Chains A and B, each alone.
Chain A
Amino acid sequence: MDGYFISLNINSFVSEPLTHDFMRKAILISSLVAAVCGLLSSFLTLKGWALMGDAVSHAVMPGVVVAYALGVPFSLGAFIFGVGSVALIGFIKQKSRVKEDTVIGLVFTGFFALGIVLVSKIKSNIDLMHILFGSPLGISLSDIQQTIFISILVVLLLSIFRKDLMLYCFDPRHAKTVGINVGFLHYLLLTCLSLAAVVGLQTVGIVLVVAMLITPGATAYLLTDKFDRLSLISILSSIVSSVLGIYLSYWFDIETGGSIVLVQTFIFLFAFLFAPRYGIFKFKKLLSSE
């Protein structure tokens, strides 16, 4: 691709796609979604909720389908099934001897399967491929409105309870000791996770939305020891991945969701190799030892 890429005028690489209305929309909405998922990602990474993110993002599937069929906002259906799946995971874990990771895998695949079956049974204008793999280039107006609303809600919640959530991730016992409602914070984070999964599936689809929720946070975690910076890097790397992913998808005619997540993965690998302190080459050490 190098010859083609280099000969390409950088200016037109950036500006040509922007002449299309659908591309402008896709880039704007994807950036918003990326920012929301990136912000949440910084909490999930620290809480160790990657598997939970995977579970919830898949479990919202039947909720989305049912909501579409009933004509109610799909975020509502997703929210009910997202939180419901976690409640079910907790219940089965408590009442049986099956280990937690097994229960998580079992519940979310069950929900996911239910979603796929429902799509095939409920005749509507839902495109299974759009839900599974996202379609930022063909996003509808009502979806845009809902995405903006949910994004603002999640960002507001995460901002208001930012310090409490940080404490909840770091030392829940201390939170409890000083009278902070830990149960509320648990469900708050869960709610935000369900909502972020819903907006995330717009751009990369249900199958890959978990990457939006864990990769940016993991990348940032390798690059800083400060929580505020971690969130900022997570959001930035997430937005850059989405925008770059969409451009690559446009120019090389590749699947958009996959393209976005691949860019995220490459950014992570770059951090993994070259992060000053925590990368495997540890440049800081090399520099200071000279």
Chain B
Amino acid sequence: MKFEKYRIEAENICVDYNGKVALYDATLRLKAGQICGLVGMNGAGKTTFFNALTGFVNLSKGIIRINGESLKTAQQDQSVAYVPQNEGIDSDFPINVWDIVMMGRYGSMNILRSPRESDIQAVKNAIGRVDLLEHTFTPIGNLSGGQRKRTFLARAIAQRASILLLDEPFSGVDIRTEKLISELFLEFKKEGKTILISTHDMIHIREFCDLVLLINKTVVAYGDTSEVFTPENITSTFGGMSPDFLFGPES
């Protein structure tokens, strides 16, 4: 793996849904071990950005390279893991923690997806890392918001992806989960994983994002958090509203 090169390279990507532009001319480059915050209003294109990086929507323009390879190769290499928002999950689905985490291994299993000993170990290990061992066989519907979030984080760990995309990882979680996720992020960083998180929570961005990407249909500002995450930039990202109004004076 070429660590000196970029893990994620998105060059001038455009996405439109049936003629409606959702994202245009967006560029992002991230290296190994970098944590980047993705900030924007609802409808600013955060989810579209994630959809593009997971290959869930087609680009109308631009190119995405993951570890220097095409998106298709990255998918086959299990390079990208996506951790969905809690709202994006059907919590009535008849499935338990173990089965969800095992889905992280599907891409590298045989066609019947029958787990090998190594898969079982990876799943156990991942569930242990997010501290859910006592809930291993709990149906998803009986988990709290934080436990649910940790389940999907465990799936990403089991997948052994080098890039993690997290959609609102801190929304609707308890303090314990929040602390655990923060600790995991620092571990991931040490392991050389690249992390992109979308969040509404400005405090978390300052806490552990090296870089921040402000978007409003396109890139408003991008760079080191200390330089880019200014009240002026945030205001223009959120369509002219002042950050004080949006997040209270302490932001």
Contact = CB atoms under 8 A, between A and B. Distances in A.
A164 interface: yes
Contacts of B90: 46, 170
Which has the most chain B C-beta neighbours within 10 Å: A179, A221, A224? A179
A24 interface: no
A186 interface: no
Interface string B104-127: 101100011100000000000000
Given A163-B113, A180-B106, 20 more contacts: A46-B93, A164-B106, A167-B103, A170-B103, A171-B89, A173-B84, A174-B103, A174-B155, A175-B106, A177-B55, A177-B80, A178-B75, A178-B78, A178-B106, A179-B75, A179-B78, A180-B107, A225-B96, A225-B139, A227-B95
27 contacts: A46-B90, A94-B18, A160-B112, A163-B112, A163-B113, A164-B106, A164-B113, A167-B103, A169-B93, A171-B84, A171-B89, A172-B56, A173-B56, A173-B84, A174-B155, A176-B55, A176-B56, A178-B106, A179-B72, A179-B75, A179-B107, A225-B139, A225-B141, A226-B139, A227-B99, A229-B94, A230-B94
Interface of A: 46, 94, 160-161, 163-164, 166-167, 169-180, 221, 224-227, 229-230
Contacts of A178: 75, 78, 104, 106-107, 159
A224 B75 CA distance: 33
Contact of B94 (A94, A163, A176, A225): A225
Contacts of A176: 54-56, 75
Contact of A177 (B81, B89, B139, B142): B81
B76 interface: yes
Contacts of A175: 106
A226 B213 CA distance: 41
Contacts of B113: 163-164
Nearest to A226: B94
B82 interface: yes
Contact of A173 (B82, B139, B159): B82
Nearest to A221: B94
Contacts of B81: 177
Chain A at the B interface: mostly helix, strand, loop or mixed? helix
The 8 closest A-B pairs by CB, nearest first: A178-B107, A179-B75, A225-B139, A163-B113, A179-B76, A177-B54, A227-B94, A225-B94
Contacts of B99: 227
Contacts of B159: 178
A177 B111 CA distance: 16
Contacts of A230: 94
B17 to A, nearest CB: 10
Interface in B49-67: 51, 54-56
A167 B106 CA distance: 9
A203 to B, nearest CB: 27
Contacts of B96: 225-226
A177 B75 contact: yes
B209 to A, nearest CB: 22
Contacts of A177: 54-56, 75, 80-82
Given A94-B18, A225-B94, A163 B56 contact: no
Contacts of A167: 103, 106
Given A46-B94, A225-B141, A226-B94, A173 B106 contact: no
A178 B72 CA distance: 9
B95 A170 contact: yes
Given A164-B113, A227-B99, A170 B75 contact: no
Contacts of B89: 171
A48 B118 CA distance: 34
Contacts of A227: 94-95, 99
B157 to A, nearest CB: 14
